Structure 1
Amino acid sequence: MDEKDTNRLEAFSDGVFAVAITLLVLDIKFSPFDANHLRDDWAMWREIGQQGPTLFAFVTSFFTIGVMWLNHHRVFKHIKRTDTTLLFLNILLLMIIVFIPVPTTLLAEYITEPQYHTAAILYGITFLAMATCFNLIWRYASHKGRLLGNKVDVHEVNKISRQYSFGPLLYVVSIAIALFSAPLSVAFSFLLAVFFALPEISPRRRKQPDRLADSDTVAE
């Protein structure tokens, strides 16, 4: 068994992810209802429905942060050691994660205003920065098995590397879409979150000993 040297990093990261997700829900607020204008429950439901854009942005950001936590857990199954560079890169990632509620609030305010695109662009840029930082963490740790365990599943490591290589490019596409339609850009970001969640929910098939190799055989 490999000795795990990332426990403190993972525990601290889990706490930051939890804070970021909690902050998202604080933006869901309902204005005081005016009884003089609400004739029945349907009118109240219509008032609640006006929070739709805020809920849309909340669900997308919540799910994306959740998927980032899922992938963080996934890569640190392979990363067994830390160094100063990895710790610094992880801090950068957490800074971006905890910042996500800020563009989410702005997006919820202007997502239904077709003349405003800045909020959606900032939203996309934030996720682009997050995907780039995630790539840096994985590329740095997995390069020639630098910080991976003594025994790693080479196929799984290369699979993660291939999938993550698409992340920054796809978020650039999301930013481009935001120039024309904020709702479509957010929907695309949601689909990206689903895409990056897929490896974790897919069945694991490669556990045979002959597919395990020393970390120095991992593809760069």
Structure 2
Amino acid sequence: MYPKNRLDALTDGIFAVGMTILVLDLRIPDEAAVGADEASLLQALLALGPKLLPYLLSFYVLGVSWLSLIKARSRGETVGEAYAKWSLFYLLFVTLVPFSTVLMGRFTSHATATVIYAANIGALALIGFLLMSLLPEPVRDAHWVERRVSLLVLLVSCLLTMALSFVVPGRALWAFALNLGGGLVVRLYRRLAPAG
């Protein structure tokens, strides 16, 4: 058995570093500053556009994932070996988000970059869903249902993004907009699910 609070502390640190590193690729090249006027500065800022959507999306996914993790409550103070090992695997994919974000930002119209990015986010969703199943003595409240449904919606949007990357690679990321309707899916699920 492993103390859950120690695993939570490691998770907090990795999420903090991962979310901070994301911004490092949003920079204006030093060459653009030499003899720069207002117009060239504006042009350099506009050139960051393709990197901005993956950055915002990654920050959002990591932020929401972290918030969901801290809201998933357990009645126990320890976790088993399977939960601890899958947590480390989950954190591996958290540390890969900055890399896949940079790749996506630099190669926006390439299917390979889009697939790697969506696969990275999809792995987070899939392992996050598994971790919820392995959490000892979970509190199965409204958040529990919302988290599981939102992870499934995220996974579906990742699969759709990967499929679309071979058809419209420059626009495939917009499949992640499905996650904006996650609350609607949760309300529909609650309405259709049997009480209990």
What TM-score does the superposition give when structure 2 sets the normalisation length?
Answer: 0.80
Q: Is the 8 A contact 2:33 2:41 kept in 1?
A: no
> Residue 99 in 1 paired to residue 96 in 2?
yes
Determine which structure has the larger helix proportion and give its number: 2
3-state SS of 1:30 partner: coil
Asked if structure 1 preserves the Cα contact closer than 8 Å seen for 2:93 and 2:124, the reply is yes
Deviations 1:156-194 (A, max 9, x none): 5345444434443332112112222334322322552x4
| Structure of greater relative contact order (alpha carbons < 8 Å, 6+ residues apart) | 1
Residue-pair matches, total:
182
* Unpaired runs of at least 5, structure 1: 142-146, 203-218
The runs of 5 or more residues in structure 2 that have no matched partner are 188-195
User: Quick check: 1:60–1:186 contact (8 Å CA) kept in 2?
Assistant: no
Flag the 1:65–1:33 CA change in 2: closer, same or farther, 3 A: same
Equivalent residue number for residue 134 of structure 2 = 140
Counterpart in the other structure of 1:186: 173
Tell me the residue number matched to 1:124: 118
Computed over aligned residues only, the root mean square deviation of the Cα atoms, in angstroms, reads 2.6
Q: For residues 194-216 of structure 1, give each alpha carbon's deviation from its aligned partner in whole angstroms, at most 9, with x where no partner exists.
A: 456x59xx9xxxxxxxxxxxxxx
- Residue identity matched to 2:18: A
Deviation at 1:9, TM superposition (A): 1.1
Task: Report the secondary structure of 2:28's partner residue.
Answer: coil
- SS of structure 1 residue aligned to 2:86: helix
Measure the CA separation in 1 of the matches of 2:7 and 2:173.
Answer: 30
Q: Does 1:68 align with 2:55?
A: no
Indicate how the Cα distance of structure 1 residues 18 and 195 shifts in structure 2: closer, same or farther if over 3 A, else same: farther
Is the CA contact 1:64–1:190 (under 8 Å) kept in the aligned structure 2? Answer: no
2:121 counterpart letter in structure 1: F
